[in-house]
Structure 1
Amino acid sequence: MAVVTCERWAVLIGINQYSDTTARKNLQGCVADVEKTNTILRTYLNVPADHITVLTSPDRLDECIGSNTYPTKANVVDALRKVAKRSNPGDFVYIHYSGHGDRRPTQYAELKKGPKHDEVLCTLEDDLSDVEFGGLLDHLVSRGLAVCVVLDCCHSGGASRLGLGASIRCRRAAEEAANGGQYDGARTRDLRNAVPIQSWFYRPRGYNLIAACQPHETAVEWGGADGKIYGALTYHLIETFLSLQSSTEPITYGRLYEVLEAKCRSKLKQQPMHLGDRSRVIFGSATSLSERGDFLASVIRTSGADVTLNKGVANGISIGDKLRIYHPSQSFLGLLNPKATATTEVIVTSAGKLQCEARSVTGSADDLQGVLVGWLAQLSSRANTAIVNFLLHHEERDSSAYVAVERLQLECQLYASPYMPLDIRLNALDPEADITVEFYENDILKFRDRHGNDLPHVPAEHLSGSLNARQMTSLLQHLCSYQLALSIKNPKTFSIPRYTFEILPDQVEDGDTDSLAAWRVQFKNLHNQFLYITIFNLAPAYGIYQIYPEDHASSAAVDPGEDIPYLVIDMKVPPLLKEASTQPGFKMRDIIKVFITTVQANFSHYCMPDLQGWTESDTGALTKVIQKRHAKLVKPQTEPWFVDEKEIITSVDLEGS
């Protein structure tokens, strides 16, 4: 579980009233959607009221004139721009729209080069087109914000919101019904199918988007248990939030969507759509789950001044690590609230494979009074420090390089995460150094691991001159975390479960010109009991990806005598290595590592993204650019028909015996 230091912001838009004279053009549950969402944000996530902009329609449209609190296009645009100005990189922005949607002939034919229509949000006074809205979202993302957009409306052609009260969320369909025409659901579904994925809303972007339904479906309203009408998406999304609220691991969009989709499938004919990075944490910072670098443990036993936690050596716990204890009410969806207050702090006294013993830092049982099984423990500091030694190949002691490293020694503690503390040393020639950085003339940096092996392609070319402390600290922590995972070996044990684990060549899919190779990952359980496994890809651009099971799930059970599903990983050159891959003799090294346990465990805290490089922001500051490695798991293609045969040989006994 991550301690959330980022701020959270929200823009909530709900429009029931579209006409003062024609009731059938209006909707029923949109304002209720916003009110319920606002309650969740403020009650469970402690989002400050002044960080939430609520724009809802009045009972009469003439009240909107000159007001900045109603959902006109100008007010919606202004609200999003204000969030961009007030927020900081790493903050989270939640945008919710409930209202009519529509489709009209495109005003951006040259830009779209394909789709002949614009999808629009029907804000009051004027529509907000998909291109305009997408531009506003792109701007938020470009400022380093994590953005989640929820659209409980028509989002592709003729989707409507039909059901209780026959409210229709497609403006054209509503107007047709209001004019006495019959709403032709089949016709509008066909219309939507014409360009289901080409809408400008759904092109690949840096934000996550949750839409009410699939392109061929209609979005309906839903009667809540409180007697109010809501959008079906909004109602079941909030129901999903609440069902996952006690999770001890941050919830990714992938996990959220699995539960949401299951709820909708069991009750509705519509299925929500998610587009974006499934590994990102909902309500988390701009970093993904892969970038957390920390984790939460649960209390599984208490005894006086001691507690037992469900994390151990395999999870990276060491004797001397400290953890803060929190009441479960201090978290929501696996994230500690920004103002969460710890009950006490404990220090690890012994560490087993998958659990550890910890004692109150004061040694007093009074500190743990009231702490129960199921309470949460957040890592606050590690006992072990990663040693980084800078070797300077400069003769002058007062050279700029010496000055820069000495400054880094002083400043790195301001930026270093407690989950990977650093000990920066200068010309120490320390054989225990986890990372050695050689600083040559002309500001050339070379990185080596603890065995003296070269760490190639580290993107530090923009950092050597000024040796920016914040960015260098981030880079070194990333490399040390990667090396830590790389160094994990089998524990000393007298009993090792029986299994086979192989990586075998496979075929690259037809038409895939980007993949250099394909490899099949095989694991078979030969043990006499269930084994639980998690498989990671330690990639050549210093990313660590959980490839089985996906979406940072807990380890998957493999029955005795059974194999895991047929899994193939396509190996593509990551962006960091693109230039190097054009040179003769280029090779890249991937490590496939499997964690095997006899009980279910979660190792997703080892995950990290690829290093891609550094870019200069609008303010002149250097920020890290992170991009996932282009490797994917695929399932084998199955032909639609098969031919098989067996041979029977029949002989004739000529002797008649």
Structure 2
Amino acid sequence: MSRIYIAEPDTTSRPTDSLVASREELIQNWLEITGGTARKANAGDWLPESRDYVLLAACRPSEYAYESTFNGKESNGALTYWMLDTLNNPSPDLTYKSLYDRVYAKVQSQFQSQTPMLFGEGERQVFGRSYANVHYTVNVLKVDTARNRVLLDAGSAQGLGEGARFAIYAPGTTDFSEKNKPLAIAQITSDITPADAWAVIDPDSLRGDIQQASPAIMLSAPIALVRRVRLFEKQEESTNQVPKNQVLPSAALTAVKTAIPRTGKGWVELASVGEHYQVAINTSGEYEICDRNGTPFPNLRPALLVGDADAAESVVKRLVHLTKYQAAQELENLSVLTNKLVIQLTDKDKKPLADPTKQTLQTGENTFLYIKNESKQDLNVVVMDLQSDWAISQLDILEDGASFVPFAPGQEELIPLSFKLPEGYQEGKDILKIFATVKPAKFRWLELPSLDKPIQAKKAASFDEYDENTPRSGGDPLDKLLEAISADPDEIPPTREAQVMSSNRGWTTKTVTITVKAV
């Protein structure tokens, strides 16, 4: 239960009649919502399984919900005051997520120990029945006008580093195409924590007033994430065979060289040595993307023929996708929390498998992910699924649509998982990255679609309905937004020289791998 903390004496008169139904009515309503079934009350079971609801909570279960005199006359709860303030001037297509983003920024700027929570269908329009495209973005938490900077609600736990550039838009923006220009461009400084980061505004880019809850989209990666690409002509093949459509390997590679500055700006660059990727032409006249050892990446579908229109552009877009995928894959942080976050693959009785970090399954076979917080403080847990078709999605592990799951000290959960293979795959590998942060942290903006597939906005499927070809609930990929803003392309994974290691004490990660084989 949330606790209420009164910041100042409140003498406001209160109504004496309760609007809450009787205990018997509440029980009957619960049975109707849940289909008349009774369940043992475990953590996460206090909401109905159906996602046909929206719930705004004032704070996490372990926190206080504060009240204060915002207008100097009467006391209000922080959540209530800022929610009503937002609804007094709503945008025509206001969603519950947009409402939540502003309320979250306002409350956090005043009471850092109060974290509002959003559960359910954030993509639903406020007081409506329709659904909007929900773009998961980084948001502005604070605006420091005196120092010409903004505080963004993402940090080192999401891989941000000094030099990353963001485009900042007006609150409530859903169209991030080039026709809708950003308010400003800001660049991350060295002032970074696991959950947030300060970014300095480029004064020449400023076109309007930046407000709390303004969405921000990454334009270019930190320097440490930029990947180097070497164009590799296989002489023994080019002398013996002319690729399909009569395009010579040298001409095909020159087309990629031309496309890299235009399409891969900020993410990949051309190099002759020290490369992370190699691009070559195989004997079938197809572009081939390989790691630094010359091994082709699997499951890069469909094949790109050198003579196809825009094939070189598509190669560069795939390189950018790979860069983003592997940046998420290699996020690691050893901290005091590492041994306090217990992550194991187990059977249904919570008994660890022989190798609790790896398992091989056949399609449709179940396994269980066991999560426990053995620390003495609350942890916010997120599970990201890095899939075999190069998609990244956040698993809705308690089916409540929340950005993260608060785990109280000692809390444990057993999450049933089932995996399928994309059509035509005989084997695939899903990598589950489990993040735990002390401060609230959002990861959905790291989501990616499967390779060469844009995510379609749709009502979220239930947890059991996920499969590898279906976009996960409510997440538009960061890469799609980047492409719309700055010709920054879409998809695939790379190899980095060093892991992202940090001395930050406020977060940690664990990884488990599931290999899925066709029956």
| Length-normalised TM-score, structure 1 | 0.44
How far off is 1:306 after superposition? 3.3
Q: Deviations over 1:226-258 (max 9, x none)?
A: xxxxxxxxxxx9998365544549x9994334x
For 1:371-410, what aligned pairs fall within 5 Å after superposition?
A: 371=210, 373-384=212-223, 385-394=226-235, 400-410=248-258
Whether contact under 8 Å (1:460, 1:613) holds in the other structure is: no
How far off is 1:516 after superposition? 4.3
Flag the 1:498–1:283 CA change in 2: closer, same or farther, 3 A.
closer
Does residue 604 (structure 1) correspond to residue 444 (structure 2)? The answer is yes
Whether contact under 8 Å (1:360, 1:368) holds in the other structure is: no
Q: Deviations over 1:39-68 (max 9, x none)?
A: xxxxxxxxxxxxxxxxxxxxxxxxxxxxxx
- Looking at structure 2, the residues matched to 255 and 567 of structure 1 have their Cα atoms a distance apart, in angstroms, of 23
Residue matched to 1:517: 365
Flag the 1:436–1:304 CA change in 2: closer, same or farther, 3 A.
same
- Looking at structure 2, the residues matched to 347 and 368 of structure 1 have their Cα atoms a distance apart, in angstroms, of 16
For 1:41-440, what aligned pairs fall within 5 Å after superposition?
A: 241=94, 244-246=97-99, 248=101, 254-257=121-124, 282-283=132-133, 295-299=138-142, 301-326=144-169, 330-332=170-172, 335=175, 340-350=180-190, 351-361=192-202, 371=210, 373-384=212-223, 385-394=226-235, 400-416=248-264, 421-425=267-271, 428=272, 430-433=273-276, 435-440=277-282
- Looking at structure 2, the residues matched to 444 and 338 of structure 1 have their Cα atoms a distance apart, in angstroms, of 32
The residue type paired with residue 475 of structure 1 is R
Flag the 1:443–1:501 CA change in 2: closer, same or farther, 3 A.
same
Whether contact under 8 Å (1:609, 1:628) holds in the other structure is: no
Flag the 1:347–1:390 CA change in 2: closer, same or farther, 3 A.
same
- Looking at structure 1, the residues matched to 207 and 155 of structure 2 have their Cα atoms a distance apart, in angstroms, of 20
Flag the 1:243–1:465 CA change in 2: closer, same or farther, 3 A.
closer
Residue matched to 2:43: none
Whether contact under 8 Å (1:553, 1:602) holds in the other structure is: no
How far off is 1:498 after superposition? 0.8
Flag the 1:244–1:490 CA change in 2: closer, same or farther, 3 A.
closer
Whether contact under 8 Å (2:96, 2:122) holds in the other structure is: no
Whether contact under 8 Å (2:306, 2:312) holds in the other structure is: no
Residue matched to 1:478: 321
Does residue 563 (structure 1) correspond to residue 412 (structure 2)? The answer is yes
Flag the 1:238–1:297 CA change in 2: closer, same or farther, 3 A.
closer
Q: Of the candidates 593, 597, 609, which is equivalent to residue 433 of structure 2?
A: 593
1:480 aligns to what SS in structure 2? helix
The residue type paired with residue 604 of structure 1 is R
- Looking at structure 2, the residues matched to 545 and 459 of structure 1 have their Cα atoms a distance apart, in angstroms, of 19
For 1:422-571, what aligned pairs fall within 5 Å after superposition?
A: 422-425=268-271, 428=272, 430-433=273-276, 435-450=277-292, 454-466=296-308, 468-490=311-333, 493=335, 496=338, 498-505=340-347, 515-549=363-397, 553-564=402-413, 566-571=414-419
The residue type paired with residue 410 of structure 2 is G
- Looking at structure 2, the residues matched to 484 and 607 of structure 1 have their Cα atoms a distance apart, in angstroms, of 12
- Looking at structure 2, the residues matched to 404 and 538 of structure 1 have their Cα atoms a distance apart, in angstroms, of 31
Q: Deviations over 1:580-628 (max 9, x none)?
A: x2xxxxx4322111011012211012222223789xxxxxxxxxxxx96
How far off is 1:459 after superposition? 1.3
How far off is 1:503 after superposition? 1.5
| Length-normalised TM-score, structure 2 | 0.54
Whether contact under 8 Å (1:323, 1:346) holds in the other structure is: yes
2:249 aligns to what SS in structure 1? helix
How far off is 1:544 after superposition? 1.5
1:520 aligns to what SS in structure 2? strand
The residue type paired with residue 282 of structure 1 is A
Flag the 1:253–1:337 CA change in 2: closer, same or farther, 3 A.
farther
How far off is 1:532 after superposition? 0.4
How far off is 1:450 after superposition? 4.8
The residue type paired with residue 219 of structure 2 is S
RCO greater where, 1 or 2, for CA within 8 Å and sep 6 or more? 2
Query: What is the CA RMSD across the aligned residues, in angstroms?
Result: 4.3
- Looking at structure 1, the residues matched to 304 and 401 of structure 2 have their Cα atoms a distance apart, in angstroms, of 32
The residue type paired with residue 132 of structure 2 is I
The residue type paired with residue 150 of structure 2 is V
Flag the 1:443–1:243 CA change in 2: closer, same or farther, 3 A.
closer
- Looking at structure 2, the residues matched to 476 and 343 of structure 1 have their Cα atoms a distance apart, in angstroms, of 29
- Looking at structure 1, the residues matched to 348 and 467 of structure 2 have their Cα atoms a distance apart, in angstroms, of 23
1:593 aligns to what SS in structure 2? strand
Residue matched to 2:486: none
Flag the 1:316–1:547 CA change in 2: closer, same or farther, 3 A.
same
Q: Deviations over 1:369-412 (max 9, x none)?
A: 96555444443333433222232213569971111111122134
How far off is 1:538 after superposition? 1.3
- Looking at structure 1, the residues matched to 269 and 401 of structure 2 have their Cα atoms a distance apart, in angstroms, of 30
- In structure 2, the gaps of 5 or more residues are 1-51, 53-89, 103-117, 350-360, 455-465, 473-519
Whether contact under 8 Å (2:287, 2:315) holds in the other structure is: no
- Looking at structure 2, the residues matched to 255 and 305 of structure 1 have their Cα atoms a distance apart, in angstroms, of 31
Whether contact under 8 Å (1:297, 1:310) holds in the other structure is: yes
Larger radius of gyration: 1
2:232 aligns to what SS in structure 1? strand
The residue type paired with residue 606 of structure 1 is L
Q: Aligned residue pairs: how many? A: 335
The residue type paired with residue 268 of structure 2 is L
Does residue 629 (structure 1) correspond to residue 479 (structure 2)? The answer is no
Flag the 1:570–1:514 CA change in 2: closer, same or farther, 3 A.
same
2:433 aligns to what SS in structure 1? strand
2:299 aligns to what SS in structure 1? coil
1:600 aligns to what SS in structure 2? coil
How far off is 1:483 after superposition? 1.6
Whether contact under 8 Å (1:252, 1:282) holds in the other structure is: no
How far off is 1:455 after superposition? 2.1
- Looking at structure 2, the residues matched to 612 and 372 of structure 1 have their Cα atoms a distance apart, in angstroms, of 35
- Looking at structure 2, the residues matched to 431 and 337 of structure 1 have their Cα atoms a distance apart, in angstroms, of 35
Of Structure 1 and Structure 2, the greater helix share is in: 1
How far off is 1:432 after superposition? 3.9
How far off is 1:453 after superposition? 5.6
- Looking at structure 2, the residues matched to 570 and 372 of structure 1 have their Cα atoms a distance apart, in angstroms, of 42
- Looking at structure 1, the residues matched to 290 and 343 of structure 2 have their Cα atoms a distance apart, in angstroms, of 30
- In structure 1, the gaps of 5 or more residues are 1-209, 211-236, 265-271, 275-280, 508-512, 582-586, 615-626, 634-657
Residue matched to 1:233: none
1:431 aligns to what SS in structure 2? coil
- Looking at structure 2, the residues matched to 346 and 452 of structure 1 have their Cα atoms a distance apart, in angstroms, of 37
Whether contact under 8 Å (1:525, 1:559) holds in the other structure is: yes
How far off is 1:531 after superposition? 0.6
The residue type paired with residue 562 of structure 1 is Q
Whether contact under 8 Å (2:163, 2:221) holds in the other structure is: yes
User: What is the aligned-residue identity percentage?
Assistant: 17
- Looking at structure 1, the residues matched to 143 and 447 of structure 2 have their Cα atoms a distance apart, in angstroms, of 25
